[in-house]
Structure 1
Amino acid sequence: MTTAGTAPNVLEADLPTLSYDLTAAPHDILEDVRSAQSCAPIALGPLGPEILSYDLSRALLRDNRFRLPPGITLAAQGITSGPLFDKMATSLLGLDGAPHVRLRKLVSKAFTPRATSRLHHTIHEVMNGLVDEVVDAGRCDVVTDIARPYPTPIMCALLGAPSEDWPLFADWTEEVFKAFNFQPDTNFDEAAIIAAWSELDAYVDGMIAARRHHLTDDLLSELIRAESDGERLSAGELRMLVAGFLMAGTDTTRNQLSASVQVLCEHPDQWAKLRVNPGLAMHAVDESMRHSPAASIVPRAAVEDVEFGGYMFPQGTFIFANTFAANRDPAIYDDADRFDITREDVPPILTFGGGAHYCLGANLARRELAEALTVLTRRLTAPRRVGPAPWKPLLGMTGPTTLPIEFIGEPRMTADA
């Protein structure tokens, strides 16, 4: 056993290596991961050490000696300063320590299951409306026809924005999310992102002013009401949080819904199980996020020299929780590569992160995905993929870029069916 101060430097240790290309999708690296996992719970990946085991990944995400570097996605685009970088660094994801704890306490008082349960009707109305558009054709592209337009109306309804303004939010989030992308984007335009973000901020300022005179039952009103130890959220914090919720709640849901539909289509027995037993919907969400996650790699950096997992991680070392590998750890999951929505007695998936930065919107995301899958499996019978479904690279937000399917469609029977 390694004693304190004698742990080998992780960058110089004889660890297995992962040789995948940065353009690889999650399932492309599975064989490489399996080989490395059989040797050690840590491997050296193309960008730094990667944690492959469930237990160590969970520990890493809860260890405040490792933190998410502020503005890391912009740094990948070559931007390390300026107004956009400053805006990202002061977002909820960029904060740590006491300021982060304060905001989390305030937000958690508003972001409750009760707040999200009010969205049931909106969720079903939006998803049934999207299915109505394609049901007669008997085919669609799940990515463009279903997943992409699905989350924005729900996030807007959660915040209390009127339906006639939902297209504005769709445009703003499409532009601003480019700042959250790890992969270089040929359409990246810093000025356009700042302009879109400023327009969003101005709109939210108007919403805040209106709510201060007339609080309602939406999330923005709950955030204004929220109080912890005599403190409330400032207008700037409210603006920041609304933008953060839109970014976190839009692209993640789009990609995970496409990924979940794909794996269910490729396992028709599981699609049929969910169709006849919608009570399995939450299980289907968790299992598809375990098996085919839209978020597969979580970056951290050592804020000091850290001994972890038997190795020394020098200050500043980038380390990655490979949650794709951890969620398929054969030491934790029986027949880990099997997709089975009836799995029971398994630990929580790591796809929502962990520790201080555990996803605040996890309850909402699971509800959105579960109810979407319930509608889709009820109204689309015997779906099958009819073309390629390539995935985006695993670093950052991944998922299929296109998912063409054919199916036997069923008409909508009731207003909220």
Structure 2
Amino acid sequence: MSAVEAGLPTLEYSGEDTPAQVYPKLRAAREIAPVAMGPYGPEVLSYELVRAGLRDPRLLIPPGLGLVVQGITSGPLWDRVVSTLLCLEGDEHHRLRSLLSRAFTPRSVERLHSTIVDVLADLVDACTRRGQFDVVTDIARPYPVPIVCALLGAPREDWEQFSLWADDIFKAFSFTPVRDLEAVAMGAWRELDAYTDDMIDRRRHTLTDDLLSDLIRAEDDHDRLDHAELRMLAAGILLAGTDTTRNQVAASIDVLCDHPEQWELLRRNPSLAMNAVHETMRHAPIACSTLRVAGEDMEVGGVPIAAGTMVFLNLIAANHDPAVFEDPDRFDITRSGSAPVMTFGGGVHYCIGANLAKLELAEALKAVTARWEAPRRAGPAPWKPMVSLSGPRTLPLAVG
């Protein structure tokens, strides 16, 4: 059924448009109907329908994610991506996620707190001494990888190598074409495999106080992770905990810079940091939509969706739905009693590292607002397109 036949509003935007460019179109379409026809397929725009879609077992993670866009539908990289926890469905997904959740506990997150604070102090203090810097390059990009290293039990001095691996492997999850993608991504993945294999072998002889050791210990009804599964989950944690955090840290600082009164409010009341995390992720999420494919003929909001159709659950539209969020375009870190933001997903694929990500974001916002009384923009902060992970490309600031 076409958009016209279904009576759907249409959304027109390009793959290069940023969230700020597209959002007014999303808002106008949502005022007409909760589902619109976008340039790539149906887009779900209302909070309740997005929430239901994230929990609907008939809407599946597309096999290979963005690899089809890159022209890759088979081969070593395809096999590697479709075997990740993000792409798995059904019983195997439930089994691995259950075992991972037994290791990814509040305790495993809390033991990283001092590392998070120390890493931030080094980064933010160095920027403060310079007086002018780029938040993206000097804080957001180097920040999360040492945390992931500490989580897995890798030495902190190896974070730069981990960062390079994450950069190259993550290209396989992008919707932006990459030259020689298979060679680049698989080369990095094999190097990470070798490093992880060595860590696993050492942990099997001497367990320590880190997530990799906890994964080896993890057991569910006598079921344990084998070597390949441990390796896959370690790589998945590196990928899931790197680019998302980098981009959202920069995006959250960017939106606070746009609202100096909110910056000062957080500076004077650091206990609002977690509130600020939720509000910045609601107001300026870097994951603007999540892609699903209909596993069978179905309806979404009364709109017929044929099996095999790509469906976009639009998170930025859901997070600004006036039916759920009062005055949704207002940025207010004291906002309370609101529904949860959709940025971490929902249902069986809800981000298992959400608590760690929120802690990293909260500590980052506390660190910068505590040290910088009134940061000044030192140049433009253009955002990346919304069709992949968005966020500022650069965020030049001056302090002091």
Same fold, judged at TM 0.5 (above): yes
Q: Indicate which of 306, 318, 331 corresponds to 1:314.
A: 306
Which structure 2 residues correspond to residues 2-401 of structure 1 after superposition, within 5 A?
Answer: 12-186=5-179, 188-401=180-393
For residues 297-329 of structure 1, the C-alpha deviation after alignment (integer angstroms, 9 at most, x for no partner) is: 100000111122112110000100000000000
Q: What CA distance in whole angstroms lies between the structure 2 residues aligned with 1:111 and 1:79?
A: 32
Tell me how far 1:384 sits from its aligned partner: 2.2
Tell me how far 1:41 sits from its aligned partner: 0.4
2:3–2:10 CA contact under 8 A, matched in 1: no
2:192–2:235 CA contact under 8 A, matched in 1: yes
Q: What CA distance in whole angstroms lies between the structure 2 residues aligned with 1:363 and 1:10?
A: 39
Tell me how far 1:9 sits from its aligned partner: 7.0
Q: What CA distance in whole angstroms lies between the structure 2 residues aligned with 1:325 and 1:407?
A: 34
The structure with the largest helix share of the pair is 2
For residues 155-212 of structure 1, the C-alpha deviation after alignment (integer angstroms, 9 at most, x for no partner) is: 00010001222222111111111111112235x5311211110110111111111111
1:70–1:93 CA contact under 8 A, matched in 2: no
1:285–1:370 CA contact under 8 A, matched in 2: yes
Q: Which secondary structure does the structure 2 equivalent of 1:135 belong to?
A: helix
1:142–1:402 CA contact under 8 A, matched in 2: yes
TM-score (norm 1): 0.94
Q: Which secondary structure does the structure 1 equivalent of 2:5 belong to?
A: coil
Q: What CA distance in whole angstroms lies between the structure 1 residues aligned with 2:261 and 2:71?
A: 46
Q: What CA distance in whole angstroms lies between the structure 1 residues aligned with 2:290 and 2:118?
A: 34
Q: What CA distance in whole angstroms lies between the structure 2 residues aligned with 1:292 and 1:262?
A: 9
Q: What CA distance in whole angstroms lies between the structure 2 residues aligned with 1:11 and 1:106?
A: 46
Q: What CA distance in whole angstroms lies between the structure 2 residues aligned with 1:330 and 1:319?
A: 22
Tell me how far 1:386 sits from its aligned partner: 2.2
One-letter code of the match for 2:197? D
Q: Indicate which of 387, 405, 411 corresponds to 2:397.
A: 405
Q: What CA distance in whole angstroms lies between the structure 1 residues aligned with 2:69 and 2:122?
A: 38
1:22–1:46 CA contact under 8 A, matched in 2: no
2:132–2:378 CA contact under 8 A, matched in 1: no
Mark the runs of 5 or more structure 2 residues left unpaired by the alignment.
none
1:9–1:314 CA contact under 8 A, matched in 2: no
1:10–1:312 CA contact under 8 A, matched in 2: no
Q: What CA distance in whole angstroms lies between the structure 2 residues aligned with 1:76 and 1:396?
A: 12
TM-score (norm 2): 0.98
Count of residue pairs the alignment pairs up: 400
2:172–2:181 CA contact under 8 A, matched in 1: no
One-letter code of the match for 1:330? P
Q: Which secondary structure does the structure 1 equivalent of 2:146 belong to?
A: helix
One-letter code of the match for 2:51? R
Q: What CA distance in whole angstroms lies between the structure 1 residues aligned with 2:104 and 2:135?
A: 29
Q: Which secondary structure does the structure 2 equivalent of 1:12 belong to?
A: helix
For residues 315-369 of structure 1, the C-alpha deviation after alignment (integer angstroms, 9 at most, x for no partner) is: 0001000000000001111110111000000011000011111001100000001
One-letter code of the match for 2:97? R
Mark the runs of 5 or more structure 1 residues left unpaired by the alignment.
1-7, 409-417
In the TM superposition, structure 1's runs of 4+ consecutive aligned residues that sit over 3 Å from their partners are: 8-12
1:20–1:46 CA contact under 8 A, matched in 2: yes
Q: What CA distance in whole angstroms lies between the structure 2 residues aligned with 1:307 and 1:217?
A: 48
Q: What CA distance in whole angstroms lies between the structure 2 residues aligned with 1:33 and 1:294?
A: 16
For residues 59-83 of structure 1, the C-alpha deviation after alignment (integer angstroms, 9 at most, x for no partner) is: 0000010011121211121111110
Q: What CA distance in whole angstroms lies between the structure 2 residues aligned with 1:229 and 1:347?
A: 35
Q: Which secondary structure does the structure 2 equivalent of 1:29 belong to?
A: helix
One-letter code of the match for 1:73? G
Q: What CA distance in whole angstroms lies between the structure 1 residues aligned with 2:123 and 2:5?
A: 53
CA-based RMSD: 1.2
1:74–1:180 CA contact under 8 A, matched in 2: yes
